[in-house]
């Protein structure tokens, strides 16, 4: 796995690079600003990038904006946002580029280095890894004609777990229900959100994104 790290804190950046190297993961570049990040990725695309939200040049949301731009320009670009902050508006824009190969984790909620490595690998392989707190804030945003109003509380819980990238088996374990019950809830979600079976689309991803676009 080849990784680019975009983080303006030198200690955190060097620490992540050492952690990844110890796991046999190649860090091909470390940058401390959004402009250098975009240039480096375009010059030699990595398997996955780790990006902070707030970094130069504006010290606001430059990292998240750069990641969204790269996702729009490079469909195979995979990115794990690692931040102290949830920026709902910009996070929605990032997820609207597609949920495959996207992660958004909060620094203070990563319990162990192995947990971080596991999430990074999920994103690098095209999966989704979104912190439950991020999901909660995104789902809490008011929106007109909310399609989630059709869902029961249990179905909302299943959809939130789907947004975290969990399989039906993992949802079954985390929500303490049988896998058959999870499958039933998933079918109901697809039906209520009018998502029909199509070999060219991923209904789990569309279910998460449908409410984002309302």
Secondary structure of 138-177 in HEC code, one letter for each residue = HHCCCCCCCHHHHCCHHHHHHHHHHHCCCCHHHHHHHHCC
- Boundary-marking domain end, from 138, 170, 195: 138
Rounded to two decimals, what is the model's pTM? 0.68
Domain that holds residue 100: 2-138
Closest CA to 104 of 86, 124, 121, 118: 86
d(CA 36, CA 115) in angstroms, rounded, equals 28
Q: What's residue 23's pLDDT?
A: 95
| Residue 40 pLDDT | 96
Q: What angle do CA 159, 110, 182 make, to 5 degrees?
A: 20
The pLDDT of residue 145 is 54
Q: pLDDT value at position 28?
A: 97
* Residue 107: count of CB within 10 angstroms of its CB: 14
What pLDDT shows up at residue 210? 64
pLDDT at position 193: 80
Same domain, 102 and 180: no
Same domain, 62 and 91: yes
pLDDT at 148: 64
Residue numbers in the chain where pLDDT is lower than 70: 139-148, 198-201, 209-214
Number of domains in the chain: 2
The verdict on 7 and 104 lying in the same domain is yes
Q: What's the pLDDT score for residue 139? A: 62
Can you give the pLDDT at residue 200?
56
Per residue in 108-157, pLDDT (tens digit) is 889 899 999 999 999 999 999 988 888 777 765 555 456 667 778 888 88
pLDDT of amino acid 85: 84
> What local confidence, expressed as pLDDT, does residue 39 receive?
96
The pLDDT assigned to 96 comes to 81
Instruction: Identify the pLDDT of residue 105.
Output: 94
Q: Kindly state the tokens that stand for 92.
A: 């929605």
Domain boundary residue, one of 138, 172, 198: 138
Q: Are residues 126 and 150 in the same domain?
A: no
Q: What is the pLDDT of residue 211?
A: 53
């Amino acid at each position: 796995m080849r990784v680019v790290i975009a983080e303006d804190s030198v200690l955190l950046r060097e620490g992540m690079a050492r952690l990844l190297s110890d796991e046999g993961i190649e860090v091909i570049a470390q940058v401390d600003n959004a402009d250098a990040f975009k240039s480096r990725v375009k010059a030699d695309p990595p398997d996955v990038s780790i990006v902070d939200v707030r970094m130069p040049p504006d010290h606001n949301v430059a990292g998240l904006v750069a990641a969204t731009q790269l996702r729009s320009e490079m469909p195979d670009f995979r990115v794990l946002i690692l931040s102290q902050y949830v920026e709902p508006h910009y996070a929605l824009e990032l997820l609207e580029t597609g949920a495959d190969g996207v992660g958004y984790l909060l620094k203070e909620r990563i319990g162990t280095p192995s947990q971080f490595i596991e999430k990074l690998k999920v994103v690098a392989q095209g999966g989704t890894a979104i912190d439950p707190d991020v999901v909660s804030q995104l789902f809490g945003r008011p929106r007109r004609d909310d399609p989630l109003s059709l869902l029961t509380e249990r179905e909302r819980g299943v959809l939130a777990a789907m947004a975290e990238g969990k399989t039906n088996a993992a949802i079954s374990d985390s929500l303490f229900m049988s896998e058959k019950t999870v499958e039933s809830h998933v079918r109901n979600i697809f039906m209520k959100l009018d998502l029909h079976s199509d070999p060219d689309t991923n209904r789990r991803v569309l279910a998460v994104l449908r409410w984002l676009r309302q």
